[in-house]
Amino acid sequence: MTLLNTILPEQRRGKLKALLDAGKTVRVLEAHNGLSGIIANTLEVTGESEGKSVARQFDAIWESSLTDSASKGHPDIEVVTFDSRFHTINEILAVTDKPMIVDGDTGGDANTFEYTVSKLERAGVSAVIIEDKVFPKRNSLEAGVQQNLQEPEVFAQKIRRGKSIQKSNDFMIIARIESLIAGKPMEDALNRATQYLQAGVDGIMIHSKSKNPDEILEFSQKYQIILKDLKLDKPLVCVPTTYNTITEDELSAAGFNIIIYANHLLRSAYHAMMETAKTLLRNQRSLEADPLCVPVREIFKTVGFLEVKEKDQQDEQTTNIPVIIPAAGEDPVFKEMLNGKPKTMLEIGGKTLIDHQIQTLSNANLADITLIAGYGKDKLHVEGIEVLENPDYQKGSMLNSLLVAKEKMANGFIMLYSDILMEDAILNKLMDCKEDIVLVADNSTQYHQPEEGHALDYIISKNHYKPARRAIRFTGENTVANIGIKINPETATHEFIGLARFSKTGAEQFLETYSDVISNFTGPFQESEDIANLTFTDLMQEMIDRGFAVHYMEIHKGWLEIHNTDHIALAQKSFNA
């Protein structure tokens, strides 16, 4: 979930105000980069409460100066520039859709703050919190640090300037009071609250590094009175880092509207990184560190890599996959009938074989068709497709013709024998297959007799499944164990119909295996008596033997091969039907 989680700035900005207006106590988690942003944005825990299932999430993201600086290896003293902070802010905004509250440090002087407000508002940030210290501030949590407070009048003026520059109604400027951090009395904090509210601030954050919540609870009580006196209703924010026993419900009941967990993802990530690094050093290998780590795939999932993979696969399926039809060979059966024309020009139902194939392919949106011609090339008449020539069609097998179109194969391809006709459903089903190599295989082979002079491409499926024995099939079983013309028809489970699909990866594997076989072997190979006559099914068997998964897509009839005149009659009949 990354890009799917994004949102336009206008849609995001008002989300914080909307939550507050709805009376919600807003739970906020720190993020310091895109990945921690995704966690803060999407993490959900579920459970049960009073018999009902409940889900809990964070409502907003805190872009903390402490954790942004620390993740860059820097102290939290406004030494990390606003441009660098803004880079992190954008990084998080790019992969999230929840409202973001930015830790604006002191905000700089009033002019600087105006630019900050303008940029944050435009980016879709919902609120900026600025603290009433003198630039450059020091982080609030460390004891014994000199904390210089800004004059409240000067700070109030900065708020006015910020409010005057914002364009929308939904961007919030929240004033953070550091009196308790600087060791000033409660009175100082309350006076400042009054002044900032009068300057038009949208909310107050009271900060404390006390171990118990007493002082912020006291502040809240008195803050509610100030609001009443001023006839205002402005949210109150706390950051319970040091006073961490108090619960959200208790803080909410005490009048707090926004609760920020300001640094916990960075601190816990640091702890985990240290433990893992120590484990690697101690063991001088990574085995022992593995249980401390999430699987790589979980990271892939979180950052959207698996979505990318899926989209790539979908694109591969929907883009125009090249179809290669090797049609170079001479078929003596139709010699007279064709009178020197290639077999692909056979007429069936008033249309040539190739035109029938083009029609079926275009019904499946496949328009990039290449035919490999050889015998009778000059008498080939076909339109709208590419024709390549295999001048050596008399040597070698149909595989050689197929490889004439090697250039077409790089991003995946479909191979179709030139003498088969099929129903649209078969191609449509093939287009949905996700495996890298898929052969279309008919399981009605036991009803199909081998023909005189024409060997069939038999398949034995890996699970040796015979359709008669089992009715229910489970996905993932469809891999080929054996393929070839010499397989005993009795043991064959399927017949390869002459239609195959290769993904980009499948095509790479196919071409690599071919090139290795051709350059490194001589003599008999798989079923061929000589490597020079290597067939498509030989190469498939070789790939299987080398461990590549060759899948099949099972069909039951719905196709025809034209090997003799009876087949033509049969085809004609089915076109008339």
The stretch near ligand SPV (CB under 6 A) out of 90-98, 138-146, 361-369, 495-503 is 138-146
Least distance from C-beta 131 to ligand SPV, angstroms?
7
Q: Where are the alpha helices (DSSP H) in 286-423?
A: 296-302, 305-318, 335-338, 353-363, 398-402
Q: Which of 239, 399, 507, 534 binds ligand SPV (CB under 6 A)?
A: 239
Q: Which of 95, 101, 226, 262 binds ligand SPV (CB under 6 A)?
A: 262
DSSP 501-557: EE-HHHHHHHHHHHHHHHHH--S-BTTBSSGGG--HHHHHHHHHHTT---EEEEE-S
Least distance from C-beta 145 to ligand SPV, angstroms?
11
Q: Which of 33, 208, 220, 263 binds ligand SPV (CB under 6 A)?
A: 263
The stretch near ligand SPV (CB under 6 A) out of 19-27, 133-141, 467-475, 562-570 is 133-141
Interatomic CA distance for residues 572 and 15, integer angstroms:
67
Q: 284: left (phi > 0), else alpha (psi -120 to 50), else beta?
A: left
Which partner from the list Mg ion, ligand SPV, none does 493 bind, CB cut-off 5 to 8 Å by kind? none
| Of 64 and 445, CB closest to ligand SPV | 64
For the chain, how many residues are written? 577
Which partner from the list Mg ion, ligand SPV, none does 140 bind, CB cut-off 5 to 8 Å by kind? ligand SPV
| Of 129 and 440, CB closest to Mg ion | 129
In sign, the C-alpha dihedral spanning 38, 41, 42, 47 is: positive
Which member of 68, 76, 103, 355 is catalytic?
76
Least distance from C-beta 30 to ligand SPV, angstroms?
6
In the chain, how many H helices and how many E strands? Answer: 20, 23
Q: Which of 2, 71, 116, 140 binds ligand SPV (CB under 6 A)?
A: 140
Q: Is 71 a residue that touches ligand SPV (CB under 6 A)?
A: no
Q: Is 103 a residue that touches Mg ion (CB under 5 A)?
A: yes
The stretch near ligand SPV (CB under 6 A) out of 62-70, 390-398, 489-497, 513-521 is 62-70
Question: Which residues are registered as beta bridge partners of 46?
Answer: 55
Helix-, strand-, coil-residue percentages of the chain, each rounded to 5: 40, 20, 40
**Interface of this chain with ligand SPV, residues 97 to 116, rule: CB under 6 A:** 103
Least distance from C-beta 53 to Mg ion, angstroms?
37
Concerning whether 312 is annotated as a catalytic residue, the answer is: no
Interatomic CA distance for residues 261 and 258, integer angstroms:
10
Q: Is 65 a residue that touches Mg ion (CB under 5 A)?
A: yes
DSSP 92-119: HHTT--S-EEEE-TT--SHHHHHHHHHH
Q: Which of 57, 551, 568, 507 is nearest to 324 (CA)?
A: 507
Question: Which residues are registered as beta bridge partners of 28?
Answer: 60, 260
The stretch near ligand SPV (CB under 6 A) out of 134-142, 165-173, 476-484, 489-497 is 134-142
Q: Where are the alpha helices (DSSP H) in 349-470?
A: 353-363, 398-402, 424-431
Least distance from C-beta 151 to Mg ion, angstroms?
21
Q: Is 478 a residue that touches ligand SPV (CB under 6 A)?
A: no
Which partner from the list Mg ion, ligand SPV, none does 241 bind, CB cut-off 5 to 8 Å by kind? ligand SPV
| Of 77 and 289, CB closest to Mg ion | 77
Which partner from the list ligand SPV, Mg ion, none does 239 bind, CB cut-off 5 to 8 Å by kind? ligand SPV
Residues with Cβ within 8 Å of residue 121, at least 6 apart in sequence: 13, 166, 167, 168, 171
Q: Is 141 a residue that touches ligand SPV (CB under 6 A)?
A: yes
Q: Which of 245, 193, 239 is nearest to 66 (CA)?
A: 239
Q: Which of 25, 41, 65, 503 binds ligand SPV (CB under 6 A)?
A: 65
The count of other CB atoms within 10 Å of the CB of residue 530 is 11
Which partner from the list ligand SPV, Mg ion, none does 360 bind, CB cut-off 5 to 8 Å by kind? none
Hey, is 499 helix, strand or coil? strand
Site string for ligand SPV, 185-224 (x = CB under 6 A): ----------------------------------------
Site string for Mg ion, 66-85 (x = CB under 5 A): x-------------------
Residues with Cβ within 8 Å of residue 363, at least 6 apart in sequence: 424, 427
Q: Is 241 a residue that touches ligand SPV (CB under 6 A)?
A: yes
> How many residues bind to ligand SPV according to rule CB under 6 A?
12
Which partner from the list Mg ion, ligand SPV, none does 25 bind, CB cut-off 5 to 8 Å by kind? none
Which partner from the list Mg ion, ligand SPV, none does 141 bind, CB cut-off 5 to 8 Å by kind? ligand SPV
Which partner from the list ligand SPV, Mg ion, none does 178 bind, CB cut-off 5 to 8 Å by kind? none
In sign, the C-alpha dihedral spanning 155, 161, 164, 166 is: negative
Q: Is 100:125 a contact under the CB 8 Å cutoff?
A: yes
Task: Quote the DSSP letter at residue 341.
Answer: S
Least distance from C-beta 255 to Mg ion, angstroms?
23
Hey, is 223 helix, strand or coil? helix
Residue 232 tokens read as: 């205002």
Residue 24 tokens read as: 């919600």
Q: Is 258 a residue that touches ligand SPV (CB under 6 A)?
A: no
The stretch near Mg ion (CB under 5 A) out of 65-73, 195-203, 340-348, 468-476 is 65-73
Least distance from C-beta 479 to Mg ion, angstroms?
58
Q: Where are the alpha helices (DSSP H) in 349-499?
A: 353-363, 398-402, 424-431
Q: Could you check whether the bond before residue 136 is cis, i.e. omega within 30 degrees of 0?
A: yes
The stretch near ligand SPV (CB under 6 A) out of 136-144, 374-382, 494-502, 526-534 is 136-144
| Of 103 and 170, CB closest to Mg ion | 103
Q: Which of 111, 125, 89, 96 is nearest to 10 (CA)?
A: 125
Q: Which of 25, 116, 139, 541 binds ligand SPV (CB under 6 A)?
A: 139
Binding site for Mg ion (CB under 5 A): 65-66, 103
Binding site for ligand SPV (CB under 6 A): 64-66, 76, 103, 139-141, 239, 241, 262-263
User: Which residues are known catalytic residues?
Assistant: 76
